[in-house]
Structure 1
Amino acid sequence: MKETSKIVHRKIPMIVRILLYLYIAILLVVIGLMIGYGILGNPFEVFRIETWQHIKDLMRG
């Protein structure tokens, strides 16, 4: 009986897929933050350190 080896040739390598999914996830989080913060004010203020310091201060009391 002749054995045939099944080698899977992917069009996109696995590491590239993982990096692509991570990039898309980070991009969607940033866009979501901008939309959510844009309702309250300027969407680009989400990138300021003072904004995150203020949020952290509110959470700690």
Structure 2
Amino acid sequence: MKKQSKMLVHRRFPLAVRLLLFIYIAIIIFFVGLMIGYGILGNPIEIFRIETWEHIINLTGE
């Protein structure tokens, strides 16, 4: 049997960069999803207003 030499794999993006990129894309997709979902009910830009979140929290908290 031949010994397999350990080959170093050079990755284009290090693990930390891939994790940060994944988190960044996940946050963008989250907010785009919020805008699409809220856009069905009203103005999609209103999802970024603090009053909208206060209203949502008040509805779920009671």
What's the TM-score, normalizing by structure 1?
0.88
Q: Any unmatched runs of 5+ in structure 2?
A: none
* Structure 1 SS opposite 2:27: helix
| Moved segments of 4+, more than 4 Å | none
Percent identity reads: 58
Name 2:60's counterpart in structure 1: 59
CA RMSD of aligned residues (A): 1.6
**1:52 Cα deviation after fit:** 0.4
The separation in 1 between residues aligned to 2:32 and 2:12, in whole angstroms, is 29
Q: How does 1:5-44 map to 2 (within 5 A)?
A: 5-44=6-45
User: Size of the alignment, in residue pairs?
Assistant: 61
Compute the TM-score of the two structures, normalised by the length of structure 2. Answer: 0.87
